[in-house]
Amino acid sequence: MGFRQKKFCKLMLAGVLLCMVILMLSVVVYQEKQIDYSWLEFVDDETSEDNCNCKKIIEGDIEEIERAKILTITRTFKNKTKVTDEQYTEVTKDCEIFRTTHKYLPVVLSEEEEAFPLAYSIVVHHKVQNFEWLLRSIYAPQNFYCIHVDKKSPESTVKAINAIVSCFDNVFIASQLEEVVYASWSRVQADLNCMKDLYLISDRWKYLINLCGQDLPIKTNLEMVRALKELGGGNSLETESMPAHKEVRWKKRHIVKDGTIQITDQDKMPPPHGIKLFSGGAYFVVSRAFVHYVFEDPKAQDLMSWSTDTFSPDEFIWATLQRIPGVPGFIRAHSKFDVTDMFSISRLIKWVYHEGSYDAVYPPCQGIHVRAVCVYGVGDLQWMLEQNHLFANKFDVDFDPIAMRCLGKHLRHKALHLQH
């Protein structure tokens, strides 16, 4: 063989070897990108909640929905699905086992989610099992979670929630806790305490969402990230013109006495700076810039100070701040720009007086009503997942754990396999 032929053969061999190396590296990279997350599925694992076919329920199968409804009212089923506060305190003694068996996400599922962390303020006072299912459903290692536990909560509840929280680096108890009285300023203060803690703990998160212990997500984390990006730095919360019958809530001074809020005969001064009040709800989705404004702007601080002796300030304070010119993401005060709860993505709530059939705001509740609000059942899931909201309220593990389980299974499967 001539010199040129030998040289050519060596070059060919080197080329073949290089191609093989590149191919092997490509396979390795591909395999790394195709990590098997199937063990994180909320699969059927012989728990009582898995005695029904969740896929059929979410598709609206009437027979399967009725079977689930019958199952949830049996005493045996209720006893098997209940997890006590003491059991949570015990199972969290080994955090690694707790996180693994309860299938908390140990990794960020996408670069897009990693680059867009979220912050959560969660107000809880009872039903630890509900809270734990909520945390499990929204937990991701890149996000931040502040938990406000009502000072009035039973000792077993406080102990169990503290035990759960201790198993995570990015979940913490609020540095200041309130004794929350229904319809008083303390409900707003609880969120403000978490808001402040979250603002100081990291400058990475992009949006803040406030929740209560009976909320559940109806979107995956990635779907939320993409929905929030579409806001373009804006906020999403209910904010409407103040109806006349609610004016007494802030025109008269209110006080907390014997654990309840009571009206007095004392007139209040008008809102400071000529601020026009708007009606809304307790729940919001707001940008980090909005949070900065709340704590740093004198006008916002004056409004909050003025609101401390009003009735149900959580139902006007956020709605009003959103309409003040200069607030990051504000919308104009004219009624044409009002946002109802159906168009705010913060929370999906079925009110009994808006339910009905044709031309009603929502179809009839398939669960039960508590204080005019639908506690969702399995029959609500199909409709719920068709809505644009990020979260739904309310759920109760003591009423329908199958609805919670099926919703969680659906979203976890979607997060792991159907969206990236």
DSSP string, 274-294: GPPPEEEEEEEEEEHHHHHHH
Give yes or no: residues 379 and 316 share one domain: no
Question: Could you tell me the two tokens for 140?
Answer: 């991701």
For residue 394, cis peptide bond before it (omega within 30 degrees of 0): yes
Please check whether residue 376 lies inside any domain of the structure. Answer: yes
Give yes or no: residues 266 and 316 share one domain: yes
Among 321, 339, 356, the domain-final residue is 321
Residue range of the domain that includes 48: 44-81+348-388+390-420
Please check whether residue 94 lies inside any domain of the structure. Answer: no
Instruction: Decide: 331 and 324 in contact? Cβ < 8 Å.
Output: no
Please check whether residue 399 lies inside any domain of the structure. Answer: yes
Question: Could you tell me the two tokens for 221?
Answer: 């984390």
Please check whether residue 306 lies inside any domain of the structure. Answer: yes
**256-280 core/surface letters (b: 16 or more CB in 10 A; e: else):** beeeebeeeeeeeeebeeebebbbb
Among 302, 321, 340, the domain-final residue is 321
Which backbone phi and psi does 318 adopt, to 5 degrees?
A: -70, -40
Please check whether residue 225 lies inside any domain of the structure. Answer: no
Nearest-10 Cα torsion for 263, 322, 230, 148: -40
Burial class for 35, CB neighbours closer than 10 Å (0-12, 13-18, 19+): exposed
Q: What is the pTM for the complete model shown? A: 0.91
Give yes or no: residues 369 and 414 share one domain: yes
Give yes or no: residues 361 and 312 share one domain: no
Give yes or no: residues 308 and 245 share one domain: yes
From 49, 113, 238, 315, active-site residue: 315
Per-residue pLDDT 10s for the chain (420 aa) are 555 555 555 666 665 566 565 555 544 444 445 577 888 998 765 566 668 999 999 999 999 999 999 999 998 888 888 999 999 999 999 999 999 999 999 999 999 999 999 999 999 999 999 999 999 999 999 999 999 999 999 999 999 999 999 999 999 999 999 999 999 999 999 999 999 999 999 999 999 999 999 999 999 999 999 999 999 999 999 999 999 999 999 999 999 999 999 999 999 999 999 999 999 999 999 999 999 999 999 999 999 999 999 999 999 999 999 999 999 999 999 999 999 999 999 999 999 999 998 889 999 999 999 999 999 999 999 999 999 999 999 999 999 999 999 999 999 999 999 765
Give yes or no: residues 304 and 367 share one domain: no
Give yes or no: residues 245 and 317 share one domain: yes
Please check whether residue 20 lies inside any domain of the structure. Answer: no
The residue with tokens 């290692």 is: 141
Cβ neighbours around 26 below 10 Å, total: 10
Is 315 a known active-site residue?
yes
Give yes or no: residues 375 and 310 share one domain: no
Please check whether residue 71 lies inside any domain of the structure. Answer: yes
What is the DSSP secondary structure assignment for residue 414, as one 8-state letter? I
Question: Based on the structure, what is the number of domains in the chain?
Answer: 2
Give yes or no: residues 244 and 287 share one domain: yes
Please check whether residue 378 lies inside any domain of the structure. Answer: yes
Q: How far apart are CA 295 and CA 198, in angstroms?
A: 12
Chain-centre distance for alpha carbon 271: 31
Q: How far apart are CA 6 and CA 370, in angstroms?
A: 87
